[in-house]
């Protein structure tokens, strides 16, 4: 049976994951956060003090990544250990951006992403889902917002936590990752020609979810 695949791409901090999570639970789809895959490779490199690209490429076969979906929530394990929470640090964010520029790493993760989409109805978010991983997705969304707005949302999210970076640090980090992600030679972040652009700079969370849900319902000819 053919599955339904929705691709959501966009820069860091555009709200892809919270929006995709909400929409997938509404539709009963699985939400696949592909950034977690790159983060897990970065965590492996960090834990094994791998500093050269060649060494990481040589060790890719040692890296066993498994995704599971518990109550619709994605958990990720690295060589049998659940690392879902360990991959959410600023250091690993930057490491993920770096490893994601390596073609061998992208190939390594490509099959896994396509297999999940073949087997399940998915909302998959990332940077190259509409352009490379799921070029035949039923609907492609390119979700974006200004760098200032993305930095301020991230700051609001983190500000109660210990060691919260300053707004300026978060903004600088976002701009650097945008640059890395959209200038790498392979599968750079860009809007697919047939993707619908949704700029959320002046939109609230529920407004964005409603807009995307209505795009999906129109495309799939579902009732409200």
Please give the residue ranges that form the binding site for ligand DC (CB under 6 A).
12, 34-35, 38-39, 93, 96-97, 100, 126-129, 177, 181
What are the CA-CA distances from residue 218 to residues 21, 108, 119, 211 (Å)? 20, 34, 23, 11
**Which residue lies nearer to ligand DC by CB, 145 or 214?**
145
CB of 106 to ligand DC, least distance (A): 7
CB of 205 to ligand DC, least distance (A): 18
Judge whether 127 and 100 are in contact, CB under 8 Å: yes
Per DSSP (E only), the strands in 160-216 are 196-199
Number of alpha helices (DSSP H) and beta strands (DSSP E) in the chain = 8, 8
Per DSSP (E only), the strands in the chain are 5-9, 30-33, 65-70, 73-78, 81-82, 122-126, 139-144, 196-199
**Which residue lies nearer to ligand DC by CB, 190 or 219?**
190
CB of 220 to ligand DC, least distance (A): 23
**Which residue lies nearer to ligand DC by CB, 132 or 224?**
132
Judge whether 215 and 139 are in contact, CB under 8 Å: yes
CB of 128 to ligand DC, least distance (A): 5
**Which residue lies nearer to ligand DC by CB, 4 or 100?**
100
**Which residue lies nearer to ligand DC by CB, 1 or 36?**
36
CB of 127 to ligand DC, least distance (A): 4
Tell me how far apart the alpha carbons of residues 189 and 132 are, in angstroms, rounded to a whole number: 10
**Which residue lies nearer to ligand DC by CB, 194 or 218?**
194
Tell me how far apart the alpha carbons of residues 24 and 84 are, in angstroms, rounded to a whole number: 19
CB of 167 to ligand DC, least distance (A): 18
Tell me how far apart the alpha carbons of residues 114 and 21 are, in angstroms, rounded to a whole number: 19
Tell me how far apart the alpha carbons of residues 64 and 5 are, in angstroms, rounded to a whole number: 25
CA 209 from chain centre, in angstroms, equals: 17
């Amino acid at each position: 049976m053919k599955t339904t695949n929705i691709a959501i791409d966009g820069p860091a901090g555009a709200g892809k994951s919270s929006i995709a999570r909400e929409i997938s639970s509404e539709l009963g789809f699985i939400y696949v956060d592909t950034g977690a895959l790159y983060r897990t490779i970065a965590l492996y490199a960090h834990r094994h003090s791998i500093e050269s690209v060649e060494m990481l490429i040589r060790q890719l076969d040692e890296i066993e990544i498994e995704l599971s979906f518990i109550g619709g929530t994605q958990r990720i394990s690295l060589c049998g250990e659940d690392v879902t929470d360990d991959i959410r640090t600023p250091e690993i964010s930057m490491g993920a951006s770096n490893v994601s520029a390596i073609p061998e790493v992208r190939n390594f993760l490509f099959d896994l992403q396509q297999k999940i989409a073949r087997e399940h109805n998915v909302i998959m978010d990332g940077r190259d889902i509409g352009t490379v991983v799921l070029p035949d997705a039923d609907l492609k969304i390119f979700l974006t917002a200004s760098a200032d707005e993305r930095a301020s949302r991230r700051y609001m999210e983190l500000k109660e936590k210990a060691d919260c970076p300053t707004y300026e640090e978060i903004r600088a980090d976002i701009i650097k990752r945008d640059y890395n992600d959209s200038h790498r030679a392979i599968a750079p972040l860009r809007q697919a020609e047939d993707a619908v652009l949704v700029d959320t700079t002046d939109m609230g969370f529920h407004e964005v979810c409603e807009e995307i849900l209505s795009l999906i319902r129109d495309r799939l000819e579902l009732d409200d």
